[in-house]
């Protein structure tokens, strides 16, 4: 009976996989995959020349760019971590869970675009853009870690003391290492997000990368990226618990601040800018319905459609590439230098934000869905391959196990496929978030219409489209959770 249940479960996993592949093939008929540049090979040659001759000679202050990037990341993640920790203690309340789901569904760049209209290029724009979605993410993951922990000591002490004392005394010591592990991972994510915030004007690495890209100074681009890869790869050496207090104390003094917050801008944003134009002009309520209908049909629906098409293609391609890449760091396939080379390759791929990858590919191929699909695939496949490679290292093989391609197809793939699907569906919501934000680069996803509304100073339209984007992300997250539960796919909270 147990064997039949296992066969049925594996059969459902393969059927679902082929269903998603079939949907992706259907999406190909609606996807814009054209290469629109006149001579992409010439541009690629210039990029390759820049890679062979990296230089920081023309960058005014590269050290300051990296310090700004690190300072924003540390403070933003710290604020998100502290807030998320206390929210996790109250995560049993459904309303709080819904609010956190909506907050983390809005990409950091969308938050930055919102706060730019309120605070301008003040540091608080970048800090809140990182802290708000990160707080919601920390709350969710910390709550899962708490839920998965051992509750026996807590339940015993809870009968004799209050909830807070019981948690801090009986549960927190056992969960502390899990919290530290996830916070360290989230800091790596924070560094990537902090760098990308420079593309909207904040003085982090992305600001200098954007300038160098637009000017065709690829030697500067690669020099900055190489230093960023080193920063990410060395995070385990410079992020030490004893040093964190020093970083937190010095970070506020590093962040540049040459702008002022005006309460007039704040008031105008909340009392005028985001109010739908029919309400501002005292038009009848039916005008509001026509305004929303036109916005939904002409902008939201095309944006949703393109976002789903692009993300579905990226999701399936991510799965295929991740399955091809995970052996690069598995001790069952490579040793010594081979695994070290594979690990370095995956670090580069997962350390480069999708936004920057898409920006590079857009320069080569022009505006279409193709650069976004490839960028999303490379980044997310590297993350899943890294997780799957680590997972495969814990598997025990039979003494008579095959080697080479037979080991991969008949021994490894059947044993890891459930865990692979768990990681892939865990990343689905994130792929949707990133797909939406890539519209800022000119790809007609929801982000394209949001960025256009902001450029036209139509913040009322932008806020409605951002809300629709958040709801779409929440819907996909609910669907992914439903699929994981039906197929009994489990993953660890630290892999969020």
> In the listed set 273, 300, 329, which residue is the last one of a domain according to the structure?
273
DSSP H helices in 260-368: 263-268, 277-280, 285-295, 301-325, 336-351, 354-365
Of the segments 80-84, 117-121, 277-281, 392-396, which one has the largest average pLDDT value?
Answer: 80-84
What pLDDT is stored for residue 493 in this prediction?
Answer: 44
Q: In Å, what is the CA distance from 152 to each residue of 144, 148, 155, 158?
A: 17, 12, 5, 10
Co-location of 232 and 280 in the same domain: no
Quote the domain boundaries for residue 285: 12-53+276-496
pTM: 0.89
- Mean pLDDT of the residues in the chain: 87
Domain assignment present for 217: yes
Reply yes or no on whether the pLDDT at 324 is more than 90.
Answer: yes
Would the pLDDT of 151 be above 70?
no
Contact present, 104 and 133 (Cβ < 8 Å): yes
Per the listing, tokens 């004799």 go with 160
Give the pLDDT score at 265: 81
pLDDT on residue 6: 47
**Same domain membership, residue 103 and residue 29:** no
Given 258, 273, 288, the domain boundary residue is 273
Does residue 284 sit in the same domain as residue 321? yes
CB crowding 81-118: b at 16 or more within 10 Å, else e? bebbbebbeebeeeebbeebbebbbbbbbbbbbbbbbb
Tens digits of residue pLDDT in 351-377: 898 999 999 999 889 889 999 999 999
Mean pLDDT of 60-75: 90
Number of structural domains in the chain:
2
> Is residue 314 predicted with pLDDT exceeding 90?
yes
pLDDT tier, 491 (very low <50, low <70, confident <90, very high otherwise):
low
* Residue 5 counted as domain residue: no
45 and 190, same structural domain? no
- CB-count exposure of residue 9 (10 Å: 0-12, 13-18, 19+): middle
- Is residue 7 one of the residues assigned to a domain? no
Q: Does residue 314 share a domain with residue 212?
A: no
- Residues 167-191: b if buried by 16+ CB within 10 A, e if exposed: beebbeeebeebbeebbeebbbbbb
- State which of 162-176, 268-282, 285-299, 334-348 shows the largest mean pLDDT: 285-299
Confidence check: pLDDT of 51 > 70: yes
**Same domain for 24 and 91:** no
Percent of the chain surpassing pLDDT 70: 92
Regarding whether 105 and 224 lie in a shared domain, the answer is yes
Please state, as a whole number, how many other Cβ atoms lie within 10 Å of the Cβ of residue 397: 13
Is residue 6 a part of any domain in this protein? no
∠ CA 353-357-360 to the nearest 5 degrees?
145
Answer yes or no: do 264 and 284 share one domain: no
Domain harbouring 410, CATH code: 1.10.3720.10
Q: Is residue 93 part of a domain?
A: yes
Sign of CA dihedral 113, 115, 116, 121: negative
pLDDT in tens, 7-27: 445 678 888 889 999 999 999
On whether residue 221 sits in a domain, the answer given is yes
pLDDT at 112: 93
Q: Answer whether residue 192 is part of any domain.
A: yes
**Which of 257, 273, 289 is the endpoint of a domain?**
273
Cβ–Cβ < 8 Å for 68, 254? yes
DSSP string, 228-282: HHHHHHTHHHH--TTTHHHHHHHHHHHS-------HHHHHHIIIIITS-HHHHTT
For residue 304, give the nearest of 477, 108, 472, 101 by alpha carbon: 472
Residues 218 and 295 in one domain: no
Q: Are residues 384 and 397 in the same domain?
A: yes
Q: Which residue has the tokens 């996830």?
A: 182
pLDDT tens digit string along 226-238?
989 998 888 888 8
Alpha carbons within 13 A on the beta-carbon side of 367: 9
Q: Are residues 115 and 174 in the same domain?
A: yes
* Position 163 pLDDT exceeds 50: yes
Specify whether 242 is located in the same domain as 286. no
Residue 196's pLDDT is 92
1 domain-assigned:
no
Q: What integer pLDDT is reported at residue 155 of this predicted model?
A: 65
């Amino acid at each position: 009976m147990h064997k039949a249940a296992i066969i049925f479960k594996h059969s459902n996993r393969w059927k679902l996989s082929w269903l998603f592949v079939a949907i992706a093939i259907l999406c190909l008929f609606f996807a814009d995959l054209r290469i629109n540049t006149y001579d992409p090979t010439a541009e690629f040659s210039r990029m390759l020349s820049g890679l062979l001759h990296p230089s920081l000679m023309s960058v005014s202050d590269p050290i300051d760019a990296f310090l700004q990037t690190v300072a924003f990341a540390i403070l933003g993640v710290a604020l998100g971590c502290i807030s998320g920790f206390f929210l996790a203690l109250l995560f049993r309340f459904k309303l709080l869970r819904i609010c956190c789901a909506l907050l983390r569904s809005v990409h950091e760049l969308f938050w930055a675009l919102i706060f730019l209209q309120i605070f301008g290029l003040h540091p608080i724009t970048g800090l809140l853009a990182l802290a708000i979605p990160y707080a919601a993410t920390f709350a969710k993951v910390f709550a899962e870690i708490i839920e998965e922990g051992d509750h026996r000591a807590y339940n015993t002490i809870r009968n004799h003391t209050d909830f807070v004392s019981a948690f801090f005394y009986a549960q927190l010591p056992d969960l502390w290492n899990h919290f530290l592990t996830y916070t360290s991972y989230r800091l790596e994510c924070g560094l990537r997000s902090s760098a990308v915030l420079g593309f909207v004007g904040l003085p982090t690495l992305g600001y200098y990368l954007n300038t160098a890209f637009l000017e065709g100074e690829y030697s500067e681009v690669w020099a900055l990226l190489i230093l960023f890869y080193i920063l990410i790869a060395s995070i385990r050496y410079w992020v030490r618990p004893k040093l964190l207090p020093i970083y937190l104390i010095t970070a506020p003094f590093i962040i540049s601040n040459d702008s002022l917050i005006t309460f007039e801008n704040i008031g105008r944003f909340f009392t005028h800018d985001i109010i739908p134009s029919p309400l501002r002009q005292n038009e009848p309520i039916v005008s509001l319905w026509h305004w929303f209908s036109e916005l939904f049909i002409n902008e939201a629906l095309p944006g949703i459609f393109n976002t789903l098409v692009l993300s579905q293609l990226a999701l399936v391609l991510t799965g295929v590439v991740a399955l091809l890449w995970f052996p690069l760091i598995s001790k069952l396939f490579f040793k010594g230098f081979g695994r070290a080379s594979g690990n370095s390759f995956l670090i580069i791929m997962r350390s480069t934000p999708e936004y920057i990858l898409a920006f590079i590919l857009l320069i080569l191929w022009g505006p279409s869905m193709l650069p976004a699909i490839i960028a999303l695939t490379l980044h997310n496949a590297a993350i899943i391959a890294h997780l799957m490679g680590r997972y495969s290292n814990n598997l025990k093989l039979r003494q008579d196990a095959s080697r080479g391609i037979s080991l991969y197809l008949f021994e490894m793939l059947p044993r890891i496929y459930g865990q692979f699907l768990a990681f892939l569906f865990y990343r689905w919501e994130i792929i949707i978030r990133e797909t939406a934000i890539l519209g800022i680069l000119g790809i007609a996803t929801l982000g394209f219409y949001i960025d256009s509304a902001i450029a036209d100073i139509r913040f009322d339209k932008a806020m409605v489209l951002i809300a629709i984007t958040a709801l779409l992300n929440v819907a996909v997250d609910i669907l992914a959770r439903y699929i994981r539960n039906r197929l009994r796919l489990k993953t660890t909270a630290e892999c969020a």
